């Protein structure tokens, strides 16, 4: 179907708007013709095709190209690749055609974008594996990833035309990978918009509520910002500094995240804005010195909070970000963050990678080195074997969205580590061989356990021993991708060696007894040794966890009932789930109706309450269908694990709306956290309140007191979120209680 005259007018307007944006990137007259040629090929290739929203499809590649040039700062080749990014995937044109018409470089970029588009339309394990392959292009040509981020941004801006299950899949991918990737590549404004758009579609009511409250306080905030800025403006003008000062209000997503994390209302989020000073530096002294001079001028006016000083000028972030952040006490008795940076630093902060390389020849700094170090680490991670492709995806994400600290080796070499890293992470950062043998650490010349969390400025020396080797519990004490991968690789190899040793030992022992290995043997042996399959049994045997002292006695026992029960719960000899014990997966097909948790059903259990977030009636929930059993796991809509599953297994998100049954009175386990001033009788008051006023069944109480402060958790059974909220409101009224919040762990 051809486009209408109105469509043609709209396409022409958008094209002319793009060409106007491209004026600033032309280096030669041929550049204009190069982009024009790409536009007409895209127009021919996508002729008559429309998006789900009904608009001409061609508007999408034009919009992506405009984002690439206006919001990321990419050049002519990137604009051409953006215009052509869907041509090979969606039309009859091939990569060879693109090579012949636009050259090898453009063809390679388009091919990379085509493969990356396919990543997010495939099965999960394959999706993760393809994503790893595509990311291998990261250190060859980051522009492919940047254009893909532009593509995702435009798709998010037009997500309203998609059905709800597709929205959950796409927003999960975006919040799980694309927003952190934009963050790591320094695209802060794009990262912020992606997060806000995700929230707008996933949690529209909360988004609208915060937006309305921000609008109501905007006038008051602007008045405060003007009053705060006035003396700073006067001082900087007096010192002859060419600068701009502005107040940036926090994004809706970041405000909501803080409310969720701290379980506080909007009214208790005090750091709603930050002040930014951007100046044009003089030829001398250095940019760094001039930033500190401005810092000194501001702290002469407002008292700083020393522990909140962040110096990313002396040691830039891995993505090239440079700035001086300080928190000062404002005129109304509130802490205010002030960011100080040059115009060059501002460009890098807003446009990330593209601006970073724009300045690389003009300045000698650690930016390039830091970025190259990160790219090198990513390539190492991509090339390293992992337990599974999905594990890789989780590990890769760990390297994206982390705050950073700077630590030092005994010789003074600086090493950037994520906040929360331990001495063991540091050991693996030096070399996997050091990590494998790490037994302790000297942190600032004091011997500490190897699991000690390290801080910015720490000087660390790793103590090793040849008798030490990685253990599974080490995975609970590391945060970096490199450490997790190294430990998993070691354990996997070690487990395989144990399986081989265990298999040989078991066969030798059976041979001594004149018995041939068979299913009948394992039916008796596995439950006796509390193992679920042969590999687990062999592995524990080879590692010395099990011994065969009682083997002869076990094989003579007649424990038919126990064995039958065991095999009904686990696997057959070939490792497959017994069909007779598999849940009926047809139970999911409700013909588009609402699915009701707690409703009477012939299939038990159709629903499983997710352990990761423990939703209760009244919580907004989303269903995830387990592909193996067909059961639907019910997650809170805010659950991080649901986001991970949506990003990796999007097709398994249940498209039907999940509702709680209004007819079946079921109690659900929930937990609350408490903290306050200790006093005699406070526990009795708590228990009395819960028993007398709410008649709620308590499962367990954990309370500990130290230095006059008590904290702890109460696990109890409730029927609805409103019951829990009412209870918490009452508990807050008890004398001495300072903090009451739902435990989300």
- Name the DSSP letter for residue 70: I
Closest residue by Cα to residue 102 from 173, 58, 36, 38 = 38
Crossing angle of helices 252-262 and 204-238, in 10° steps, is: 110
Residues belonging to the chain = 745
- Rounded to an integer, what distance in angstroms lies between the CA atom of residue 723 and that of residue 217? 32
CB 437 within 8 A of CB 464: yes
Closest residue by Cα to residue 185 from 425, 349, 3, 405 = 349
Per-position DSSP letters for 275-335, written without gaps between them: EEEEE---SSS-HHHHHHHHHHHHHHHS-B-GGG-EETTTS--TT----EEEEEE-TTS-E
- Rounded to an integer, what distance in angstroms lies between the CA atom of residue 14 and that of residue 59? 7
Compute CA 478 distance to the chain's CA centroid, rounded to the nearest angstrom. 17
- Rounded to an integer, what distance in angstroms lies between the CA atom of residue 725 and that of residue 271? 26
Crossing angle of helices 164-173 and 188-202, in 10° steps, is: 150
Closest residue by Cα to residue 509 from 477, 489, 537, 473 = 537
710 SS3 class = strand
Q: Buried b vs exposed e over 189-216: b needs ≥16 C-beta within 10 Å?
A: ebbbbbbbbbbbbbbeebbeebeebbee
CB 701 within 8 A of CB 712: yes
404 has catalytic annotation:
no
User: Which residues neighbour 146 within 8 Å (Cβ) at sequence distance 6 or greater?
Assistant: 68, 72, 74, 78, 185, 187, 353, 354
- Rounded to an integer, what distance in angstroms lies between the CA atom of residue 586 and that of residue 590? 9
Query: How many DSSP H helices and E strands does the chain contain?
Result: 29, 19
267 has catalytic annotation:
no
Give the CA dihedral 692, 693, 696, 699, nearest 10 degrees: -60
Dig out the tokens for 451 from the structure.
Answer: 């699991």
Neighbours of 557 (CB within 10 A): 12
The sign of the CA dihedral 606, 611, 614, 615 is negative
Of the residues 7, 31, 70, 90, which is catalytic? 90
CB 73 within 8 A of CB 21: no
- Rounded to an integer, what distance in angstroms lies between the CA atom of residue 103 and that of residue 107? 6
- Name the DSSP letter for residue 177: I
User: Which residues neighbour 466 within 8 Å (Cβ) at sequence distance 6 or greater?
Assistant: 437
489 SS3 class = helix
Cis-peptide, bond into residue 544, ω within 30° of zero: no
Of the residues 55, 89, 209, 494, which is catalytic? 89
Closest residue by Cα to residue 181 from 250, 119, 122 = 119
Where does residue 354 rank: exposed (0-12), middle (13-18), buried (19+ CB within 10 A)?
Answer: buried
CB 479 within 8 A of CB 466: no
Q: Buried b vs exposed e over 232-268: b needs ≥16 C-beta within 10 Å?
A: beeebeeeebebebebebbbbbbbbebbeeebeebee
Catalytic residues: 89-90
């Amino acid at each position: 179907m051809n486009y209408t005259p109105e469509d043609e007018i709209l396409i022409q307007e958008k094209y002319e708007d793009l060409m106007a944006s491209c004026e600033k990137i032309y280096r030669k007259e041929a550049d204009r013709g190069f982009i024009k040629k790409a536009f007409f090929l895209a127009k021919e290739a996508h002729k008559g095709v429309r998006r789900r929203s009904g608009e001409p499809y061609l508007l999408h590649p034009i919009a992506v190209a405009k984002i690439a040039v206006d919001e990321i700062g990419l050049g002519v080749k990137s604009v051409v690749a953006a215009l052509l990014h869907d041509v090979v995937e969606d039309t009859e044109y091939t990569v060879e055609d693109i090579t012949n018409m636009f050259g090898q470089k453009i063809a390679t970029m388009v091919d990379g974008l085509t493969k990356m588009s396919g990543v997010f339309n495939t099965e999960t394990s394959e999706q993760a594996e393809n994503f790893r392959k595509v990311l291998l292009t990261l250190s060859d040509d980051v522009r492919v990833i940047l254009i893909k981020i532009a593509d995702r941004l435009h798709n998010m801006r037009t997500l309203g035309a998609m059905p709800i299950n597709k929205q959950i899949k796409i927003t999960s991918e975006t919040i799980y990978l694309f927003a952190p990737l934009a963050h790591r590549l320094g695209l802060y404004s794009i990262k912020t918009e992606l997060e806000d758009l995700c929230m707008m579609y996933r949690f529209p009511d909360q988004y609208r509520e915060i937006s309305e409250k921000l609008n109501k306080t905007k006038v008051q905030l602007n008045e405060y910002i003007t009053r705060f800025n006035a003396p700073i403006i006067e001082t900087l003008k007096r010192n002859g500094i060419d600068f701009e000062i502005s107040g940036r209000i926090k994004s809706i997503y970041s405000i909501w995240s803080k409310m969720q994390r701290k379980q506080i209302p909007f009214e208790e989020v005090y750091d709603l804005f930050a002040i930014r000073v951007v100046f044009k530096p003089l030829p001398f002294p250095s940019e760094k010195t001039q930033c500190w001079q401005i810092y000194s001028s501001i702290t002469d006016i407002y008292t700083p909070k020393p522990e909140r000083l962040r110096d990313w000028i002396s040691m830039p972030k891995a993505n090239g970000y440079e700035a001086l952040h300080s928190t000062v006490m404002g005129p109304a008795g509130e802490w205010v963050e002030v960011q100080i940076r040059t115009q060059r630093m501002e460009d890098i902060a807003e446009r990330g990678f593209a601006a970073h390389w724009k300045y690389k020849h003009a300045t000698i700094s650690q930016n390039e080195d830091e970025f190259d170090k990160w790219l090198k680490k990513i390539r190492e991670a991509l090339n390293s074997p992992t337990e599974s492709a999905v594990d890789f995806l989780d590990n890769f994400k760990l390297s994206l969205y982390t705050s950073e600290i700077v630590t030092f080796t005994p010789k003074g070499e600086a090493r950037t580590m994520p906040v929360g890293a331990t001495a063991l992470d540091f050991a693996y950062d030096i070399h996997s061989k050091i990590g494998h043998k790490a037994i302790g650490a000297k942190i600032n010349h004091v011997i500490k356990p190897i699991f000690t969390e390290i801080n910015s400025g720490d000087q660390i020396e790793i103590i090793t021993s040849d008798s030490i080797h990685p253990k599974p519990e080490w995975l609970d004490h590391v945060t970096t991708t490199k450490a997790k991968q190294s430990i998993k690789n070691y354990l996997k190899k070690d487990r395989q060696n144990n399986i081989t040793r265990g298999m040989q030992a078991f066969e030798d022992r059976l041979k001594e007894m004149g018995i041939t290995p068979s299913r009948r043997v394992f039916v008796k042996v596995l439950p006796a040794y509390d193992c679920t399959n042969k590999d687990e049994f062999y592995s524990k045997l080879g590692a010395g966890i099990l011994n065969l002292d009682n083997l002869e006695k076990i094989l003579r026992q007649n424990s038919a009932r126990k064995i039958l029960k065991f095999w009904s719960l686990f696997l057959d000899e070939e490792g497959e789930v017994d069909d007779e014990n598999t849940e009926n997966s047809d139970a999911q097909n409700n013909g588009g109706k609402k699915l009701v948790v707690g409703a009477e059903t012939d299939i038990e259990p159709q629903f499983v309450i997710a352990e990761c977030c423990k939703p209760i009636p009244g919580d907004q929930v989303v269903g995830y269908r387990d592909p193996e059993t067909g059961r639907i796991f019910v997650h809170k809509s805010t659950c991080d694990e649901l986001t991970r599953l949506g990003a990796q297994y999007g097709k398994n998100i249940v498209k039907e709306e999940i509702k709680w049954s209004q007819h079946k009175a079921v109690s659900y386990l929930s937990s609350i956290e408490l903290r306050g001033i200790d006093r005699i009788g406070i526990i009795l008051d708590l228990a009395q309140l819960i028993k007398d006023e709410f008649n709620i069944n308590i499962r367990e109480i954990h309370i500990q007191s130290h230095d006059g402060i008590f904290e702890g958790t109460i696990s109890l059974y409730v029927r609805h979120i409103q019951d829990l909220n009412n209870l918490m409101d009452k508990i807050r009224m008890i004398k001495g209680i300072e903090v009451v919040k739902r435990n989300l762990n």
